[in-house]
């Protein structure tokens, strides 16, 4: 009896399976390439917003209130002011909080604005640490101050001048031009 005749259907099935698998792989690869081209075209047409408000950017009009009742708007910036934006869900924010409070501690609350984005109950550790050194506001993710800064990445550290124009955007409190620059 010939054993080769029994193996031919298995061999044909194997070749058909490998061919179908290769065709499927080719389709998936073409779909990924197409998607990458679409994404690249989107990035070329509309540059993604930077994660930090760039220096030279004037803040838009906004209205908010600090925890102590201080009105927060463009008029709040009467001179160079350090702004720290923190999020209650950000581990890096918790890491940089002590460094920020130490760095701005001698400036006075009128020269420092700290905004904590998140649930008011979760913000308590931030507000406790920031209240002695800054004017503090707590707001939701889409709050007016975070929106004025273009919904930045967290933490974000800025210097804003008396015209409500961002003069420095930083990712570390150690880079803040304090106190010599203020």
Cis ω for the linkage preceding 179 (within 30 of 0):
yes
With a cut of 50, list the residues of the chain below it in pLDDT.
Answer: 1, 48, 180
CB 71 within 8 A of CB 65: yes
The DSSP letter of residue 58 is B
What would the two tokens of residue 176 be?
């803040």
| pLDDT, tens only, 48-100 | 455 788 999 999 999 999 999 999 999 999 999 999 999 999 999 999 999 99
Q: pTM score, two decimals?
A: 0.71
Phi, psi (degrees; rounded to nearest 5) at 118: 145, -175
DSSP count for the chain of H helices, then E strands: 4, 7
C-alpha 1, offset from chain centre: 73
**Dist. CA 115–CA 127, nearest whole Å:** 9
């Amino acid at each position: 009896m010939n054993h080769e005749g029994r193996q031919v259907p298995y061999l044909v099935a194997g070749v058909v399976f490998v061919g179908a698998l290769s065709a499927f792989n080719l389709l998936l690869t073409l779909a990924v390439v197409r998607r990458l081209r679409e994404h690249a075209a989107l990035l070329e047409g509309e540059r993604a917003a930077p994660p930090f408000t760039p220096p030279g950017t004037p803040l838009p009009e906004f209205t908010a209130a600090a925890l102590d009742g201080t009105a927060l708007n463009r008029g709040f910036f009467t001179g160079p002011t350090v702004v720290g934006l923190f999020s209650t869900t950000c581990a890096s924010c918790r890491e940089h909080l002590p460094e920020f409070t130490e760095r701005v501690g001698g400036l006075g609350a009128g020269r420092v604005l700290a905004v904590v984005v998140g649930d008011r109950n979760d913000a308590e550790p931030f507000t406790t640490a920031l209240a002695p050194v800054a004017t503090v506001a707590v707001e939701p993710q889409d709050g007016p101050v975070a929106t004025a800064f273009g919904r930045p990445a967290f933490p974000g550290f800025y210097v804003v001048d008396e015209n409500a124009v961002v003069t420095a955007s930083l990712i570390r409190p150690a880079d803040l031009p304090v106190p010599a620059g203020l």
